[in-house]
Chains A and B, each alone.
Chain A
Amino acid sequence: MTPHMLTRSLDRGATIFLLVVATIGVLIPLSNLLLPSGSFLHVPTYLVALWGKYVCYAILALSIDLIWGYCGILSLGHGAFFALGGYAMGMYLMRQIGTRGVYGNPILPDFMVFLNYPKLPWYWHGFDMFWFAALMVIVVPGLLAFCFGWLAFRSRVTGVYLSIITQAMTYALLLGFFRNDFGFGGNNGLTDFKDILGFNVQADGTRATLFLLSCLALIIGFLICRAIVSSKLGKVLIAIRDAESRTRFLGYRVESYKLFVFTVSACMAGVAGALYVPQVGIINPSEFAPGNSIEAVIWVAVGGRGTLVGAALGAVVVNYAKTFFTSGVLAPYWLFMLGALFILVTLLLPKGIVGTFNSWWEPMRAKRVSGAAESAAAENGVSEPKMAE
Chain B
Amino acid sequence: MLANLPARLRTLALSLFLIAFALPAAAGPFEDAVAKFANDDFSDTDAAIGVVASSGNPLAYPIISALKDGRLMADADSKKVYVTGTDGKSVDAATGEAVASVPASASAVRLNNRLRRSVDAALGGLTLLSPDVGTRIQAAQSVFKSHEESALPVVDNALAKETNRSAKTALSEARAAILLYKPDASEVDKLEAVATIKGRGDQEAMALLTGIGSDQPASVKAGAASAIASIQSSLAVWSGVQNAWYGLSLGSVLLLAAIGLAITFGVMGVINMAHGEMVMIGAYTTFVVQEVIRTRYPGLFDYSLLIAVPLAFLVAGAIGVLIERSIIRFLYGRPLETLLATWGLSLVLQQAVRTMFGPTNREVGNPSWMSGAFELGQITITYNRLWILVFTLAVFAILLAMLRYTALGLEMRAVTQNRRMAASMGIATSRVDALTFGLGSGIAGIAGVALSQIDNVSPNLGQSYIIDSFMVVVFGGVGNLWGTLVGAFTLGIANKFLEPVAGAVLGKIAILVLIILFIQKRPRGLFALKGRAVEA
Contact = CB atoms under 8 A, between A and B. Distances in A.
A340 B348 contact: yes
Given A151-B517, A161-B523, A342-B344, A175 B508 contact: yes
Interface in A296-312: 297-298, 301
A10 to B, nearest CB: 29
A257 interface: no
Interface stretch (B91-99, B176-184, B332-340): B332-340
A169 B345 CA distance: 23
Interface stretch (B167-175, B387-395, B466-474): B466-474
A364 interface: no
B517 A160 contact: no
B345 A343 contact: yes
A186 B512 CA distance: 20
Contacts of B401: none
Interface string B340-374: 11011111111110010000000000000000000
A216 interface: no
Contact of A342 (B271, B341, B350, B535): B341
Contacts of A341: 344
A346 B519 contact: no
A279 interface: no
Contacts of A340: 344, 348
Contact of A168 (B338, B339, B471, B505): B471
A205 interface: no
A98 interface: no
A154 interface: yes
A182 B230 CA distance: 38
Interface string A329-371: 0001101101111110111001000000000000000000000
B513 interface: yes
Interface residues of B, number: 43
Contacts of B521: 155
B504 to A, nearest CB: 9
A343 B516 contact: no
Contacts of B331: 346-347
B516 A168 contact: yes
B476 to A, nearest CB: 13
Interface in A150-201: 151-152, 154-157, 159-161, 163-165, 167-169, 171-172, 175-176, 178-179
Contact of A347 (B269, B341, B506, B536): B341
A2 B330 CA distance: 45
Interface residues of A, number: 45
B523 A343 contact: no
Contacts of B334: 346, 350
A161 B520 CA distance: 11
Interface string B499-518: 00000011011001101110
Nearest to A72: B336
A219 interface: no
Contacts of B474: 161, 164-165
Given A156-B523, A171-B512, A346 B467 contact: no
A21 B98 CA distance: 92
A128 to B, nearest CB: 29
B396 to A, nearest CB: 23
Contacts of A74: 336, 339
A152 B520 CA distance: 6
B327 interface: yes
Interface of B: 269, 271, 327, 330-331, 334-341, 343-352, 355, 467, 470-471, 474, 505-506, 508-509, 512-513, 515-517, 519-521, 523, 535-536
Given A160-B269, A339-B348, 8 more contacts: A148-B516, A164-B470, A164-B471, A168-B470, A175-B508, A333-B351, A339-B344, A342-B340
Interface of A: 68, 74, 76, 148, 151-152, 154-157, 159-161, 163-165, 167-169, 171-172, 175-176, 178-179, 245, 290, 294, 297-298, 301, 332-333, 335-336, 338-343, 345-347, 350
8 contacts: A155-B521, A156-B523, A160-B269, A163-B339, A168-B471, A168-B515, A290-B467, A338-B344
